[in-house]
Every structure is written in structure tokens, then in C-alpha cells.
Amino acid sequence: MFVTYILSKIRAYMLYRETVRELAQLSDRELSDLGIARLDIARVAHQVASA
């Protein structure tokens, strides 16, 4: 059970980093089209990883 918990945390962190990386590559225009400000990337990535 403890191992499962740790693995889920690792997967969530990996998803967080992947989301940050992909969103950071978008232009300000593309982010605006998605309704995301550049300063909100970390918050959005955290929400995705927590879901």
C-alpha cells in the first residue's frame, strides 16, 4: 500500500512536469486562446496532476 502511494505521487509529479513543459512551449497567443496566462501555468499543471 505504501509503495502504491509513492508510485502515485511520482506519477502525479511526472504529469505535472510534463504539463508545465508543454504549456511553457506555447506562445502567449496560444495560451491566451486557451484562457491561460503564462503566470498560471504552474497552477493549471497542479490541477491536472491532482485530478
Task: Indicate if the pLDDT at residue 42 is higher than 90.
Answer: yes
Question: CA nearest 45: which of 4, 2, 7, 25?
Answer: 25
Residue 51: per-residue pLDDT? 84
Q: pLDDT averaged over the chain?
A: 97
Residue 41 grid cell: 501555468
User: Does the model's pTM come out above 0.85?
Assistant: yes
16-36 burial by CB neighbour count: b if 16+ within 10 A, else e?
beebbeebeeeeeeebeeeeb
**Backbone Cα Rg of the chain:** 13
Domain-by-domain residue ranges, the chain?
2-50
Task: Indicate whether 4 pLDDT > 90.
Answer: yes
Q: What is the pLDDT of residue 7?
A: 97
Here the cell at position 51 is 485530478
